[in-house]
C-alpha cells in the first residue's frame, strides 16, 4: 500500500511538472507572438487634476455644508470657464530621473524627452525631478546631452533636486535654465574619481605570471593585474585631469554666473550653501514648485514604461506557475 501511495504521489508530481513545462512552452509562444511589433508604453498623468482632487477631498472633510455648497458652486463655475480655455493653457511636462552609477534610466529618459519635444511649445516648460549621486562619465555626459535638446528647442528647463544631484547628477542639473533644491539637498561634487585595485604584488608573491599584451603605448595605463609604472600612473592622472577640465568647462558654459574655480573642487554643499555659491537658483521642494505652477499651467507627468524582454516575461510566468503548482500540491489532501 505504501508503495502504491508513493507511486501515486510520484505520478502526481510528474504530471504537475510535465503540465508545467507544457504551460511554459505555450506561454513562451504567446509572449513571442505578442512581443512582435510591441510598442513602447507612455504613461501620462495629469498632476493638475491630482492636486485639485487632494484639495476637494480635504474640503469635503473640513468645511461645513454651507461653506461646501458655496465652494462647489464656485468650483463648477471655474471648471466651466477652464473647459473653454484649457487648450490655451501653457503646459508643464514633468520627468522623474533617478540615477545609478551607469545612469541606466537614460534610455527611458531619452524617449520621454522625444515624446515631449514632439508637441511642446516655447510657452511650455519641462521640469526634471532629478535624484543622482553621479556615476560613469560617458553615461552622465549622454544624459546631460539629452537634456540640452530641450534647451536647443528654446523650451524652458527647470531641474528640481529634493535629495541629491552630485557629480554626474550635477552635470545634468547644470543644463537647466533654473535649478531648485530642498534646503538639505546635496549638490556639487564637480570632480572626477577613479579607483583601481591592483593585485600585481600578490601575484608576484605567489609566483603567478601575468602578461599584458597591447599595441599602442597608452592602450592601457593602469590595470587590475599588471604592474603599475610611474609612466602609466602619470598618464592615467593626465587623463583624469583632462576629464575634470571638460567637466568644468561644461558646467561653466551652462551656468556662466558661477565662479567655477571656487566650486570645481570635488566638494558638496547642502541646498542653502549651494544657493550662496551660485550652484542653484532657489530653495524650494519639487512638490511645492509644481503645486504653484498648477495654478496657471496644466501640469503633466510623462513616464515611459520600460519594455520587458520575452525572457523576463517568461521567467515571471514560470515562477508564478511553479508557485501555484506547489501551492496546490501542498494544500490538497494526499488521498
Q: In what order do the strands lie in the sheet with 178-181?
A: 41-46, 298-305, 91-98, 125-131, 157-161, 178-181, 282-283
Identify the active-site residue in 36, 66, 87, 219. 219
End-to-end Cα spacing for the chain: 12
Identify the active-site residue in 132, 139, 167, 286. 167
- Give, in order, the Cα–Cα distances in Å from 127 to each of 18, 130, 155, 188: 53, 9, 11, 20
The answer to whether the CB of 176 falls within 8 A of the CB of 159 is yes
C-alpha cell of 26?
A: 505555450
The answer to whether the CB of 297 falls within 8 A of the CB of 90 is yes
Residue keyed to cell 455644508: 65
Q: Which of 331, 175, 156 is nearest to 250 (CA)?
A: 175
C-alpha cell of 199?
A: 593585485
Residue keyed to cell 508545467: 20
- H helix or E strand, kind and range, residue 2: helix 2-35
For this structure, is 39 an active site residue? no
Query: What is the three-class DSSP state of 160?
Result: strand
For this structure, is 167 an active site residue? yes
For residues 313 and 201, what is the distance between their CA atoms, to the nearest angstrom? 46
The answer to whether the CB of 301 falls within 8 A of the CB of 200 is no
Cβ-in-10-Å burial (0-12, 13-18, 19+) of 27 comes to middle
- Residues with catalytic roles: 167, 219
Amino acid at each position: 500500500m505504501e508503495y502504491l501511495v508513493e507511486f501515486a504521489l510520484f505520478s502526481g508530481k510528474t504530471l504537475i511538472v510535465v503540465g508545467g513545462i507544457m504551460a511554459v512552452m505555450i506561454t513562451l509562444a504567446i509572449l513571442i507572438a505578442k512581443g512582435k511589433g510591441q510598442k513602447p508604453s507612455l504613461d501620462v498623468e495629469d498632476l493638475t487634476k491630482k492636486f485639485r482632487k487632494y484639495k476637494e477631498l480635504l474640503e469635503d472633510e473640513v468645511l461645513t455644508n454651507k461653506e461646501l455648497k458655496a465652494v462647489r458652486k464656485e468650483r463648477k463655475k471655474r471648471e466651466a470657464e477652464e473647459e473653454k480655455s484649457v487648450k490655451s493653457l501653457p503646459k508643464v511636462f514633468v520627468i522623474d530621473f533617478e540615477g545609478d552609477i551607469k545612469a541606466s534610466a537614460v534610455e527611458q529618459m531619452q524617449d520621454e524627452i522625444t515624446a515631449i519635444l514632439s508637441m511642446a511649445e516655447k510657452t511650455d516648460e519641462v521640469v526634471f525631478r532629478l535624484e543622482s549621486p553621479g556615476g560613469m562619465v560617458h553615461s552622465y555626459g549622454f544624459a546631460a546631452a539629452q537634456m540640452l535638446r530641450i534647451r536647443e528647442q528654446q523650451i524652458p528647463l527647470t531641474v528640481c533636486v529634493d535629495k541629491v544631484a552630485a557629480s554626474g547628477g550635477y552635470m545634468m542639473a547644470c543644463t537647466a535654465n533654473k535649478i531648485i533644491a530642498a534646503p538639505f539637498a546635496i549638490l556639487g561634487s564637480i570632480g572626477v574619481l577613479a579607483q583601481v585595485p591592483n593585485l600585481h604584488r600578490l601575484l608576484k608573491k605567489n609566483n603567478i605570471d601575468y602578461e599584458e599584451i597591447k599595441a599602442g603605448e597608452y592602450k592601457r595605463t593602469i590595470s587590475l593585474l599588471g604592474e603599475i609604472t610611474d609612466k602609466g600612473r602619470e598618464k592615467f592622472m593626465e587623463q583624469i585631469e583632462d576629464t575634470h577640465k571638460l567637466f568644468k568647462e561644461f558646467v561653466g558654459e551652462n551656468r556662466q554666473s558661477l565662479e567655477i574655480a571656487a566650486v570645481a573642487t570635488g566638494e558638496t554643499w547642502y541646498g542653502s550653501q549651494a544657493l550662496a555659491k551660485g550652484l542653484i537658483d532657489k530653495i524650494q521642494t519639487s512638490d511645492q514648485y509644481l503645486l504653484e505652477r498648477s495654478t496657471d499651467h496644466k501640469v503633466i507627468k510623462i513616464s515611459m514604461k520600460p519594455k520587458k524582454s520575452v525572457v523576463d516575461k517568461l521567467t515571471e510566468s514560470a515562477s508564478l506557475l511553479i508557485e501555484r503548482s506547489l501551492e496546490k500540491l501542498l494544500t490538497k489532501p494526499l488521498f
